[in-house]
Every structure is written in structure tokens, then in C-alpha cells.
Amino acid sequence: MKPTRFSVAAALLGGLVIVCAPEAAKAGTQKVYPGDSIQAAVDAAQPGDKIVVFPGEYIETHAGFNGVTVTKSLKMVGKKKGTAKVVLKAGPGQDDGILVEGTEETPIDGFRIKGFTVEGFPGNGIHLRYVNNFRIDRNESINNLENGIFPTLSANGMVKRNLSYGSADSALWVEASTDVRVLDNILHSSPTGLEVTVSNNVEIRGNEVYNNTIGIGLYHPNAASLPPIPQMANWEIIDNYVHDNNAPNNAPPGSMSADLPPGGGILVLGTDGAVITKNVVENNDFYGIAMVDWCLATNGSDFSCDNIPMDPGINEFPEQNIVQDNDFINNGTNPTPHPLAPYAADITYIAWASYGNCFARNEYLTRQYAIVGPDWMLGNAKCI
């Protein structure tokens, strides 16, 4: 996450008004072949059109700030032929690979992207802002140095069956968004494999997350680059395989991500209302799941509660989280040197004033856990 925080309307998605783009008389198709410009096809398309891009390597040479910028409702399809695929690579001076951007007053409605490989951009791979009713399906993000796939300020979307790796922040980050499903993706080799901040109604199911510094990170609003939204709860982490997240941290110095120690499976960092169930969490050297107070975790860093005050109405404590029916295998056996290393375990719970957190019916290879703090439940009774 970037330490910079942007100013947007407080209501944000709580007051999102969905305005459909004008409907074309008949949807058309723009075809793009190697040597053509994807951006030129996007610019020529009418809202509702399909952009079909044929296999090949594409480097955009226009004067824009991104490889491809989309400001209308489109369906973008990258075709495959055998092993050949559509690969969009960074051109000089470009930041994001594909930026899809509406406005708060008029979000884009109905964007789809499928079959693109986006590689080597200094910013984000596929970045959505103010997009409603979106789908990001079967794409690849490779070595895009901020985030791989990054829906922000968006709603009613699905991110499914993508491959993302090699970012210096998160392979996939859902931020300031609502009603988003993250299904069956493969996410690896980044400081955080899959991150959620300041969002509501997020379902994370069936993903494989491995070889990151932290596998899945549910992070406090103070870790976000955008301010809180009115409702930030109902995060479901179900049936994921989170394993071998022990990679060295290559996040930029000075970022919150750079302070994360390696070896974490699932990190609940001061957030509330998550249901974490039926996951297999395996071979993470520091912890399988850690639930920690934000202020405690960031003490002494640039992101400490002394340096960045809390927003009114938001506290530091993880509360009302449920961890039930998960399999924890061989976690916490080789933590990196760290002040909290003595608490390495399958379950690490360090929360001074939290309430309503429940751990139940989980299976442990060595049945190990480290608990510090009040108001927790651990056992075989159901949480829900």
C-alpha cells in the first residue's frame, strides 16, 4: 500500500449512483491485429462494443499515461491460438497497463475483460476505478510493480480465474469496493498475494495463494490508500489453499507493506467481521492465521497510531471475526526474527481489547496456538 492517501467523498460507494451509458443502436466489434493499436480501437468503439484482440505482443506508442485507458463500457477479449496469446507490454512513460476509469457521478457500467496478459508496467496491471457490474476473467498480470489486479471504488464485480504474480505490493487488491467476488485465482510472488481494505461484502473463494510474504491480508483502514466507506464488513474467506508464503519482502521502503515479516498465511490486521472457513493453510513459517491489533502491529513504524491518527468511529482492534473449520498444517515452525516471533503458531491471536472473535472446529497438525488478550473462544463448539 502507498502511504499517500487520497481525498474522495465520504459517502463513496454508499451513495454510488449507477448511471448506464447510452445504449448504442447495435453493439459493434473492433478487431485488433499485431501491429495495430489497442488504444485506437478503444477510442473508436461505442459504449457496449466488443474489442477483439488477436494473439501477439502489443506495445502502445501513443502519448497517454497508460498502456490502454478505457472510459466507457466495453467488452475486451484477448484471443488465444495454441500457446500464442495477447501480451500487452509497457511502452515508454506508461504507468498502468490497462486503466478502466469512470467518475463518482457517472461510473462505467458493464465492463468485461478476458484473455489479456499485461506485463512489466511500473504501476498496476489491470486497474479499475468507479466501475459497476464488472468482470475480470482469465487474465494474467506479470511483474507489474505496484499491484497486479486492482479494482477500486467499484461495485458488483467478479475477479475470476486470473493469474497474477511479481508485484511489489499486492498480486490482487480489492479496495474501497462493495459486492465483489474473488474466485479461483492463482496469486503468488508478491508482498501480499490477496489484499482487502475498506470494502464491503467481499467473497474470496477457491483461490490458490502461495510464495508471497503474506498470503491473504485483511488490513485496517489506516493501511489503505483511500479513506473508509460507510460499511466495511462481511468478508468471507472460504475454501482457499494458502500455502508456503515465506518469500522475502521486496516492497518499496517506506510503504506499509515493507514492514510485513515473511511467513504469514492469513493476516487479520485490526479488521472486523470476517468469516474464515474451510481453508487449507499450510507451510507458512510464521503463522497460519494471525489476528493482531493494528496499533500493536505498527508500533514504532511510520504507520503507527502515534503518526497516523484513527478516523473517528474506527478502532484498532479486530472484532467479530470467525475462524472455523479450517485445516492448519505445519505453520509457525520457522519464524523470521521479529518481536512477535515467540508467538509463532498455527493460530496467533494478539488483541488487547477485542471482543466477539471466535476460533472453532479447526484442525491442527500439531494443534498449536498462541493466545494473548481477552475475549476469545477456542474449541469445538460452533461459532455460527
Q: Per-domain residue ranges for the chain?
A: 58-379
Closest CA to 146 of 233, 257, 48: 257
| Cell digits of residue 314 | 474506527
Cα distance between residue 191 and residue 219, in whole Å:
13
pLDDT score recorded for residue 219: 96
pLDDT score recorded for residue 2: 39
Paired sense of beta strands 98-101 and 126-129, if any: parallel
pLDDT score recorded for residue 20: 43
DSSP 46-82: PTT-EEEE-SEEEE--SSSSSSEEE-S--EEEE--BT
pLDDT score recorded for residue 365: 75
E strand map for 198-293: 200-205, 208-210, 214-219, 235-238, 241-243, 264-269, 274-277, 280-282, 287-292
Closest CA to 331 of 173, 215, 238: 215
> What are the phi and psi torsion angles at 127 (to 5°)?
-125, 120
| Cell digits of residue 160 | 475470476
Residues whose CB is less than 8 angstroms from the CB of residue 371 and which lie 6 or more positions away in sequence, other chains included: 347, 349, 378
Q: Do 207 and 194 touch, CB atoms closer than 8 A? A: yes
pLDDT score recorded for residue 59: 98
> If phi over 0 gives left and psi between -120 and 50 gives alpha, with beta otherwise, what is residue 198?
left
Q: Give the CATH fold of the 58-379 domain.
A: Pectate Lyase C-like (2.160.20)
Q: What are the beta bridge partners of residue 186?
A: 163, 208
Task: Please give the single-letter amino acid code of residue 281.
Answer: V
pLDDT score recorded for residue 366: 63
Cα distance between residue 268 and residue 295, in whole Å:
13
Other CB atoms within a 10 A radius of the CB of residue 223 amount to 26
Closest CA to 201 of 112, 148, 275: 275
E strand or H helix at 297: helix 294-298
pLDDT score recorded for residue 164: 98
> If phi over 0 gives left and psi between -120 and 50 gives alpha, with beta otherwise, what is residue 244?
left
pLDDT tens series, the chain, 384 aa: 433 333 333 333 444 444 444 444 467 999 999 999 999 999 999 999 999 999 999 999 999 999 999 999 999 999 999 999 999 999 999 999 999 999 999 999 999 999 999 999 999 999 999 999 999 999 999 999 999 999 999 999 999 999 999 999 999 999 999 999 999 999 999 999 999 999 999 999 999 999 999 999 999 999 888 888 888 999 999 999 999 999 999 999 888 899 999 999 999 999 999 999 999 999 999 999 999 999 988 988 888 888 888 887 888 999 999 999 999 999 999 999 998 899 999 999 888 777 788 888 999 876 577 766 655 555 557 887
